[in-house]
Amino acid sequence: MSTYARPEVLVGTQWVADHLNDSNVRFLEVGVNTSEYESGHIPGAVAGWGLSDFQHLADKAQVEAMLSNAGIANSDTVVIYGGLSNLIAVMAFWMLKVYGHADIRLLDGGRQKWLAEGRSLSVEKPRVQRKQYVAQEPNWDLRADKDHIISVIGQMQQMIVDARPVDMYTGENTAGMQRGGRIPTAVNVPAAPITDADGQFQGWQTPTTRTDGTFKSVEELRALFSEKGITPDKNIVTYCVRGGLSTHMWFALTQLLGYPNVREYDRSWAEWGNLADTPIEKWS
């Protein structure tokens, strides 16, 4: 079985357990909000950011303040994890890549797998010694904005990948936005909502992960994307509703498969679907 393109960026629960007391390793829990963290977190982990911090990509000064306040130095290994299949955690991973942090890792399976294995939790907030973090200038090659997407729609070497569920892709479900549908020419690699017996939303089953939240093998991931014509020779943009599902896909494409040219449209349908003049396709 093949190994991931960058296997060092994905760590398991045992790796985390073995490095809890390392002075240069910082654990950062990132979720929709801090409620899960407050109910119990990996010992020593710092409460990171919530979804509201990623609705618009933070600027350089904000990132420096966020990391400095979390006690993170430029030389630290930062291990990020969270609930909801790591969706918000991967947004934080992507943001730190944009601003050039050298050593970022993701806990494979996230909070879900840590809890499933019955590993220790703490409700104590660690004492954080503020550091002076200095971010690099942002790498905009990792990000797509509205104007970039409009300029590449229909180009032969361009792939636009929609990570939303099928009913959002077709336009049947507007996801609360003013308009439904998809970006023209986008192909769908859909996530599926997970609901309880009463039909209440519990989370997402992403196509890149197993039911325990861990990522699928290289062979499975290659088959998933190549079947849709999403190949490493293409220039790719990923998007979803608010960036969680699509940064998860960006992570699989860039970090696990090594695709060289993938941009994340972090504002996603929350922007595109609320504008009156953006082109939209809509059909079932």
pLDDT tens per residue across span 203-230: 889 999 999 999 999 999 999 999 999 9
Domain assignment present for residue 164? The answer is yes
- Is 95 contained in some domain? yes
pLDDT at residue 112, rounded to an integer: 95
- Domain holding 235: CATH number? 3.40.250.10
Q: Are 170 and 268 found together in one domain?
A: yes
Reported residue count of the chain is: 284
**Does 106 lie in the same domain as 168?**
no
| Kind and range of the H or E run holding 26 | strand 25-29
Residue 263 lies in a domain: yes
Q: CA-to-CA distance for 95 and 112, rounded, in angstroms?
A: 22
Question: Where does a domain end: 81, 116, 151?
Answer: 116
**What does the pLDDT average to over 71-86?**
95
How much is the pLDDT for 199?
A: 84
Q: Are residues 99 and 145 in the same domain?
A: no
Residue 93 has pLDDT above 80, yes or no: yes
The range of the structural domain enclosing residue 21 comes to 7-116
Q: How confident is the model at residue 1 (pLDDT cuts 50, 70, 90)?
A: low
Whether 103 and 78 have beta carbons less than 8 Å apart is answered as yes
**Are 154 and 102 in a shared domain?**
no
Under a CB-based contact definition with an 8 Å cutoff, are residues 170 and 100 in contact?
no
pLDDT band for 92, please (50, 70, 90 cuts). very high
Q: Assign 46 a pLDDT band (cuts: 50, 70, 90).
A: very high
Residues 58 and 158 in one domain: no
Reported as a single tens digit per residue, the pLDDT across 6-27 is 999 999 999 999 999 999 999 9
Which one of 84, 116, 148 terminates a domain? 116
SS3 195: strand
Are 109 and 151 members of one domain? no
- What would the mean pLDDT of 76-87 be, rounded to a whole number? 95
Q: Do residues 233 and 148 share a domain?
A: yes
**pLDDT score at 202:** 81
Residues 112 and 148 reside in one and the same domain: no
Q: Are residues 242 and 164 in the same domain?
A: yes
Same structural domain, 87 and 191 = no
Q: What confidence tens digit (pLDDT) does each residue in 148-197 have?
A: 999 999 999 999 999 999 999 999 999 999 999 999 999 999 999 888 88
pTM of the model: 0.96
Active site residues: 240
Please check whether residue 279 lies inside any domain of the structure. no
Closest CA to 241 of 277, 273, 202, 276: 273
Based on the structure, what is the number of domains in the chain?
2
178 and 61 share one domain: no
Check: CB of residue 243 under 8 Å from CB of residue 32. no
Pair (58, 111) in one structural domain? yes
Mean pLDDT (the chain) is 94
Residue 122 lies in a domain: no
Tell me the pLDDT tens digit for each residue of 96-124.
999 999 999 999 999 999 999 999 999 99
